A = this chain, B = another copy of it.
Amino acid sequence: MAGAVSSRGCQKIRGSQIRDLIDSKHSVLFDCDGVIWNGEKVVAGATEVVSLLKRRGKNVFFVTNNCTRPREKYVQKFSRLGFADVAQEEIFSSAYCSALYLRDVAKVQEGKVFVIGGDGVYEELRDAGVPFVEGDVDDSGMTIVDCPLEADVKAVLVGYDDKLSFLKLAKACCYLQNGECLFLATDPDPWHLLREGRVTPGSGSLTAALETATGRKATVIGKPSRFMFECIASQFGVDPAQSLMVGDRLETDILFGANCGMETLLTLTGVSTLQEAQGYKDSDAPDKKDYVPDYVVDSIADFLPLLEDDD
């Protein structure tokens, strides 16, 4: 029985296997970076795959931990890269879902959110009607002892912030001394690879600094937490059993799919490799099995011939 369990997963599929899989689902959820595009370079065939899935009547959603852009900027990016038919309501970013969490779950309308983050977070909070403290005020020359703090901060939200300063971190620590102040993170991504081999700390890194400084654990909105799927499900009535999660990172995308009860497909155009997936599959640790994708393709372009067949 243990042998039967461990032989599941990591199935490299092609041809009619891909068609059967797609035919069995109503919805396909795509991660963006490493799946649909890499930076400003679209993955070959991705625009056609999205169009064809929609023509076959599938719901298509984009689920990204990237919190730096508001959704309208994602719509522009999709359009710029040649996607003719991606609508704002199909895009679920960690910034958007964090705003939904603060509005609908935490209901902080009567207080303010202190934000470590950028325009993506600010604009989504504004759209959702969630009041927030502008984090980028000019407090140069001030220290945490002499700078003013807001009286009614009910939550601290931490996301990627390339304008992070020590004072912002210290302010967050002060607000989080109040145990009733919520502690949220847009996403757990530890780092990001940029051009020229340069790397930056991700939201998860900044969150770790605050977790250590406060002795508290943040509630994480982005993948692999279930909350972004709950946002999609509540707006579109999506059934996880009829949904496929397509991603390039085992520790976020594939685990997210497993956490939400979806079948999962790893595409090899991004971060994780087939060897890593196989490593998790061969591992004896039971907590690693949710990192194993059900299916693997080289690229979502592998969907293409099968979808085109029907036309």
Contacts and interface: CB of A to CB of B under 8 A. Distances in A.
B195 A145 contact: yes
Interface residues of A, number: 38
Interface string A189-208: 01100111111111011111
A174 to B, nearest CB: 6
A200 B199 CA distance: 26
Interface in A194-244: 194-202, 204-215
A2 to B, nearest CB: 30
A144 B194 contact: yes
Interface string A158-176: 0001111111011001100
A191 B206 CA distance: 15
Contacts of A144: 194, 198-200
A177 interface: yes
A190 B163 contact: no
B196 A145 contact: yes
Contacts of A145: 194-196, 198
B213 A198 contact: no
B208 A191 contact: no
Contacts of A164: 164-166, 169
